Amino acid sequence: MNGYFGSYLVVAVLLLIGLAIVAGALLANRLLRPSRPTPDKLLTYECGVDPVGEGWAQSQIRYYVFTYLYVVFAVDAVFLFPWATVFAAPGFGMTTLVEMFVFLGFIGIGILYAWRKRVLAWT
């Protein structure tokens, strides 16, 4: 198949090969590993400390905001480098410049949100 769907066939075959490799590795692991469950091995723990009390704990919302900020800045860095290479290509200058200002607007909204939530303070 050399037509339009031929390239999709190659992708599908490679996906199936990848899934077979992963499934084979997991199956080999299950067949070759020793299995000796004891009550101590089945006990949940965190950082080597035996659990005390209930398993439910409340976390603060600011940790989610830190995660959001990380994603904002990581995505910013990931998209700036390819943009810089495409910007220099002939015929893409103004289009990529406008797209980058839209993207930086979204980044600015993220920073403004973090500033309004007082996450950017060093306390």
Per-residue pLDDT reduced to its tens digit, 104-120: 898 888 788 878 877 77
The two three-digit tokens of residue 20, written as one number: 């077979």
The two three-digit tokens of residue 100, written as one number: 């980058």
Q: What is the pLDDT of residue 43?
A: 74
Mean pLDDT over all residues of the chain?
80
Sign of CA dihedral 22, 24, 28, 30: positive
Give dist(CA 71, CA 93) in Å, integer: 27
Q: Report the percentage of the chain scoring pLDDT > 90.
A: 19
CATH 1.10.760 given to domain 4-116: no
Model pLDDT for residues 33-87, shown as the tens digit of each residue? 998 888 877 777 666 666 666 767 777 776 777 787 788 778 777 877 777 777 7
Model pLDDT for residues 13-39, shown as the tens digit of each residue? 999 999 999 999 999 999 999 988 888
